[in-house]
Amino acid sequence: MTRWTSADIPSQTGRTFLVTGGSSGLGAEVVRALCSAGAEVVLTCRDEDRGRAVAVSVDGPAPEVRRLDLADLKSVRTFAETLAHPVDVLINNAGVMAVPYSVTADGFEQHIGTNHLGHFALTGLLLDRVRGRIVTVSSGLHRLGRIHLEDLHYEHRRYQRWLAYAQSKLANLLFAHELQRRLPADGPLSVAAHPGVAGTEGQRVDTSLQGKFLAGGRAQPPAMGALPLLYAATAPGVEGGSCIGPDGLFQRNGYPKAVGTSGRSRDAEVAQRLWERSERATGVRY
């Protein structure tokens, strides 16, 4: 594969993208690139002022800024109910990374609640309005993750923030793969993507030795980290059920290509059980 960059994005004129977490980091880079390619973009975020700051920085059609808090299922439902038009591509990008223990508005542990359950609910509520692709953003650290179905929310085990993050990123992959298995042949594609090690706000905030070790070296710029997401969302020939990540050593940096994921991320039995648990937790049934 040649070194694909945002300059290789085909014209997206007439197409609509919904990007969660579009006010900073990877999401902001994705929004800017899509707008430059002519797309209509719905930029969702918790802080609309930050979203509007991104909106005025784009070269192309200005994105529509909408409030969405994935850590609050009421906010997710309100957003879904008020989104009147269909979208071609949904990019499930927003998330928290290695934060101290806290719970969402619905009592879920913050990582699994925001990164997985919030996007699970949003995707299910919007599924009849998505025409092309659903891109779910994971992380190379999914390889450290284990799905504890009987204790997703760290109620009975010691909380470890990086392992909580890894569990949620593994959940993202299990969801993306299971969604592809459940979608009709003529429906949208479900694709996963991960940015490698990118210098996002979450990466900069964590200055612990553990965080530096897990990062494994210098982070690449957010614009490079955004490329796998953009490739998964726009490149021709992307296959449903695939994962797009960097082509460098250990998938830490580089240009986008289809990459392998852990065996646990492809465990269909665990994916089905997690799906059922997620439907019960969110009240959203596909």
| Active-site annotation, residues | 165
Report which secondary-structure segment, H or E, holds 53: helix 48-55
Coil, strand, or helix at residue 76?
helix
* DSSP result, 234-272: H-TTPPTT-EEEE-SGGGSSSSEEE----GGGG-HHHHH
Which two three-digit tokens encode residue 258?
């289809």
* DSSP result, 206-243: --SHHHHHHHTSPPBPHHHHTHHHHHHHH-TTPPTT-E
Contact 235, 241 (CB under 8 A): no
Coil, strand, or helix at residue 190?
strand
SS3 per residue for 86-142: CEEEEEECCCCCCCCCCECCCCCEHHHHHHHHHHHHHHHHHHHHEEEEEEEECCHHH
Q: Tokens 């014209």 sit at which residue?
A: 11
18, with CB counted inside 10 A (0-12, 13-18, 19+), is buried
The whole-angstrom separation of Cα 133 and Cα 136 is: 10
Contact 132, 189 (CB under 8 A): yes
Coil, strand, or helix at residue 192?
strand
245, with CB counted inside 10 A (0-12, 13-18, 19+), is buried
